[in-house]
Structure 1
Amino acid sequence: MTTTTNLLDALPAGGRERLTAIAHEVSLPRDTRIFEEGRRADRFWIIRSGQVTLDQHVPGRRAAVVETLGRDDLLGWSWLFPPYLWHLGAETVGTVEAVEFDATVVRALCEDDPVLGRAVYRYVAETVADRLQRTRVRLLDLYGPQGSGLEP
């Protein structure tokens, strides 16, 4: 996880208030398919409780789970980068409580307020970098020489 607890905590006070004003709480039941790989990414969430699996389509097989997200994790970053299509799929493991944001509105706020925009982009970039690093370690554990993915 990034060094900051969640996206809202990473924002300057004014930006936090602006994002909170457009957010709304959602409750997603168990086994809810939240989004599909390749489809339009038009919103994102901060998970308050519960877990969400991220998965990758595998032709001829069941989708492969690549990561599980939980409390305070950012669910969705594809909304920030054109062409605004999901890179993965997502499904709830159990009931999930989350804060949902409209991506178009947030992108407009980021354009209007460069300080807010810089903070949002930085947080998302740190999140993506952290997840990439964790994925590399998992790949080394699976395919590298025994124990190569473990840190000393």
Structure 2
Amino acid sequence: MTTLKITSLPPARREHLLSLAEDVHFPAARRLFEEHTAADRFWVLKTGAVTLDSQLPNRRRAEIETLGPGELVGLSWLFPPYEWELGAETLSPVRAHEFDAARVRALCRSDPEFGFEISQWVGMVLTRRLHATRGRLLDLYESVARA
């Protein structure tokens, strides 16, 4: 399955979005967010890798997917109630563009064409991630069922 990197956005929309970014750095093994906490920001990776995970009842976290440069980290910032559906942790040192979610949502409301492009991009990433999550959880279920 192909990744939907920031380069999937039309160049003018991508540059507009990137103009809102702050450059940030994170060490390896840093938790970026936990499930069911406030989704008030999101990132596009420049370097490094981040793993998405889900806390399974009475078990350790299940790794869902690994993201790399150009990929969007965090989707829940765009959809009420603005709470993370997954957790995320850096696998290596990371450099990223960080975005204030409320600011980007406000721009999406004030510029409907920009909002449409961002919503389409995030929606496509969300669809891809749902497929990845489903596949990973089915793999985990199958391995538990065999045990």
TM-score normalised per structure 2: 0.85
1:108 and 1:64 map into 2 onto residues whose CA distance is 34
1:112 and 1:119 map into 2 onto residues whose CA distance is 13
For residue 41 of structure 2, the aligned residue among 40, 43, 48 is 43
2:118 and 2:11 map into 1 onto residues whose CA distance is 10
Q: Unaligned regions of 5+ residues in structure 1, if any?
A: 144-152
Counterpart check, 1:68 vs 2:51 = no
For residue 87 of structure 1, the aligned residue among 57, 66, 85 is 85
| C-alpha deviation, 1:11, in angstroms | 3.6
- 1:109 and 1:8, CA in 2 relative to 1: closer, same or farther beyond 3 A? farther
The two structures, once aligned, show a CA RMSD in angstroms of 2.1
User: Could you say what secondary structure the match of 1:106 adopts?
Assistant: helix
- 1:8 and 1:23, CA in 2 relative to 1: closer, same or farther beyond 3 A? farther
User: Could you say what secondary structure the match of 1:22 adopts?
Assistant: coil
- 1:62 and 1:139, CA in 2 relative to 1: closer, same or farther beyond 3 A? closer
For residue 21 of structure 1, the aligned residue among 19, 22, 35 is 19
| C-alpha deviation, 1:60, in angstroms | 2.5
Corresponding residue number in structure 2 for 1:108 = 106
Asked if structure 2 preserves the Cα contact closer than 8 Å seen for 1:52 and 1:69, the reply is yes
Corresponding residue number in structure 2 for 1:150 = none
1:3 and 1:88 map into 2 onto residues whose CA distance is 18
- 1:38 and 1:140, CA in 2 relative to 1: closer, same or farther beyond 3 A? closer
| C-alpha deviation, 1:36, in angstroms | 0.6
1:121 and 1:2 map into 2 onto residues whose CA distance is 18
| C-alpha deviation, 1:132, in angstroms | 2.2
Corresponding residue number in structure 2 for 1:34 = 32
User: Could you say what secondary structure the match of 1:65 adopts?
Assistant: strand
Asked if structure 1 preserves the Cα contact closer than 8 Å seen for 2:64 and 2:136, the reply is no
Q: Name the count of aligned residue pairs.
A: 142
2:136 and 2:31 map into 1 onto residues whose CA distance is 25
TM-score normalised per structure 1: 0.83
For residue 123 of structure 2, the aligned residue among 122, 125, 149 is 125
1:99 and 1:112 map into 2 onto residues whose CA distance is 22
Greater shift in the superposed pair: 36-45 or 47-56? 47-56
Identity of aligned residues (%): 51
